[in-house]
Amino acid sequence: MSINSIDHDEMTEITDKWDINDEVESQKPNKSVKSAQARRRIEALKEIRESGLTLEEAKELGIWH
């Protein structure tokens, strides 16, 4: 398909129908994803504590961000 064969009026109509809120909402993680991320962070902190490292040392080693 050539760029010259694109119907620009049709493209404009399509983009006018887009809603930015639909795009933003689809990018937000849902509650279960947030909970899973929190659990992973807690587990990582427990492992750091059990290893005897401080948070500063873990950050220096790249283990904790």
Q: Give the pLDDT confidence of 3-38 residue by residue, as tens digits.
A: 667 777 777 777 677 766 666 655 666 888 889 999
Total-model pTM: 0.50
Domain count, the chain: 1
Question: Does residue 49 fall inside a structural domain?
Answer: yes
How far apart are the C-alpha atoms of 27 and 4, rounded to whole Å? 33
How far apart are the C-alpha atoms of 19 and 21, rounded to whole Å? 5
Which structural domain range is residue 39 located in?
34-64
- Structural tokens at position 56: 């500063």
Q: How many other C-beta atoms can be found within 10 angstroms of the C-beta atom of residue 23? A: 9
- Structural tokens at position 1: 């398909």
Question: Does residue 12 fall inside a structural domain?
Answer: no
Q: Give the pLDDT confidence of 39-48 residue by residue, as tens digits.
A: 999 999 999 9
Find the DSSP H helices in 1-65. 8-17, 20-27, 31-51, 55-61
Predicted pLDDT of residue 25: 59
